[in-house]
Chains A and B, each alone.
Chain A
Amino acid sequence: MKPTAAAEKRRRREMTCFWVLRALTYVVVAFVGVVLLDIVVKGAPRINWAFLTEKPGPDHTTGGIFPAIVGTFYLVAGSIGIALPVGVFTAVYLSEYAKDTWFTRLVRICIVNLAGVPSIVFGLFGAAAFVVYMKFDRSLLAGWLTLAFMILPVVITTSEEALRAVPRGFREGSLAVGATKWQMIRTNVLPYALPGILTGSILSVARVAGETAPIMFTVAAFYTGLPRSIFSQVQALPYYLYTVAINVPNVNAARPTAYGAALVLIVMVFGMNLLAMILRAKLRKKYRW
C-alpha cells in the first residue's frame, strides 16, 4: 500500500521533530564531553608520580597534592563508616518492620527533606553543632559527622530499595521453617540485599569525595600536613581545587595544578561511579529471581 501524501508529510514532520529532540539531548552530551576533554587535555600534563605523592610546593606551581588525596580518603572512610550502619539499620526498619504509622511517615518525610537540604546548610549546621557546640573545633571528626548526615538519605533510600527487591518468598520460606524475624532478616534478606546496598554506598562515597561546601567550615584547611588524629584539620581535594583556582596569589601560574587536581578528583569520582554501575549490571544478571 502506498502511503498517501498527507501521511507521508506527517511522517516527515514527526521525524524532523524527533531529530530536534535528539539534537537537544546530544547538545547536553556534547557539553559534558567538552568539559571532560578540557580537563583531561589540560590536566594530564601535570600528572606524574610526584604530583600524586608530594606536598604542594610554594605558589602551588610545583610539588603535588598528596595531603589533599589523603585527606579526601580519610573523609570518605570516616563518613561512610558512620552513615552506612545507621542508614542500613534505618532501611531494615523501614522495609521489614515499619507499619504505616505516624512515626514511619514522619521518618520518610524527614528523609526526603534531608535529601533536599543544600550542602552549604549542612556546612553551617556542622559548624554550629560540632565545631562550636561540641567543641570539636575544625577537625576530621566534625567533618565526618557533617558529611555522614548529608549522605544518610542516599544510603537509606538505596538500601531500602535493595531490601525491597528481595522476593517475599525468601522471607516466607525462612519464617515457615521457624526462624524468628531477626533470624530471617539476617540469613535470608540482608545477604541478598548486600550487593544493592554496596552500590548505594559507593555512590555516596563518590558524593562525599566531591563535596566542598560542607567541609569549608568544619574540616578543611589550606595549609596543613597529614592528619595526626581525629581532631586534626585536613586538606581535601575539592577544597584544594577551589583554593588553587581562586585564592592563591598567582592564580594563572597555578592553573595547571588546578587542572591536575580537577582531573584527579574526576577520575576518583567517576571511577567509583563506574564501579557501582558495573557492579549493579553484573548483579542484575546474577540475581534474577
Chain B
Amino acid sequence: MIYHAPKTLKEFASIASKYGKEAAIVAGCTDVLIKKNFFDNKKTVISTNEIEEIKKIEETEDKIRIGAGVTFTDLLCSKPIKKHCKALYEAAKVCGSVQIRNRATIAGNIINASPAADSIPPLMVSDATLILFKDDKEERIKIKDFFTGPGKTKLKHGQIVAYIELDKDKDNTISFYRKIGTRKALSIAKASVAFRAIKTNGNLSSVNVSYGSVGPTVINSVKAREYLENKALTESTIEEASLMAFGEVSPIDDVRSTAEYRRLVVKNVMIEELRPFIDN
C-alpha cells in the first residue's frame, strides 16, 4: 500500500482524485483506526496532517475561519475561539480526552458525520459554512445541508473539507453546548444540545437550536427555534420551548441509552441550560 503525505491542498487534490474510492484519507485517526475495515480494498493512505494551510484559525471582523486540520486542542488554545465561538469552545472541552483532542481534527469530526459528534451541533447553531476543495475548485455548503444520514455526507470522492467558516458571537450572543455522556470524560454523547441566540432588551432573536445523538443526523430545530424567536426568556417560555424540543427529536434505543431517556433529557437540558440566562 502506498502512503502519501501531501503538503498543500493542491497536491492533496491531485493525489486524491487519482485514487478516488481507493484512497483512505486520514487526519488525526482517532475515529478511523477504530473502524475494523477502514483500510480494506484501499490502495493508498493519504494523510492530511502535513497540509499547513489548513491548520490555522483566522479571524476577520465578523467571521472566524477554521482550517480543517485544526485539532480540538488547537480550538481550546485559541483566544478567538474562546471569545467568539463559545458553544464550539464548550464542545471542544468535552470531546474525548486530552489524548484524543490533541489529534482529532475538526474536519475529521465533521466528515465522520456521527450524529453524536461534538463539533457539529455548535457549528450548526452558528450556521457554519464548509468550504470544500476538489481538483482546483472550491465549493461552499452550509453545514446544515451537508449530512445525508448517519456517517454519510455530501462529500465527493477526491474532495476535502478545507475550511469551516462561522459567524463570530456578538457581545449580546448567548449560547451553550451541553453534552450528556455515559461519563464525564472519554464518552460519546447520549444526547446533546447546542443553542445560540442574540438577546436584546430581554428578547431573543436569531435563535438556533440543534440536537445531537437524537436522530440519524444532528437535528436542526424548527419548532423550539421558531417559538423562542422574539420571545423573552422566562420560566414559562423555557418550559414551552423545552416541550417543543422534546417533540422534535427522534432518538432510538441503543447500547448507550434509551429513546425515552434521550427525549426527556433533551427537554431538561434546555431547561437547565437556559435558566441562568433569565433576566432577574
A and B interact physically: no
Q: Which residues of B contact A (CB under 8 A)?
A: none
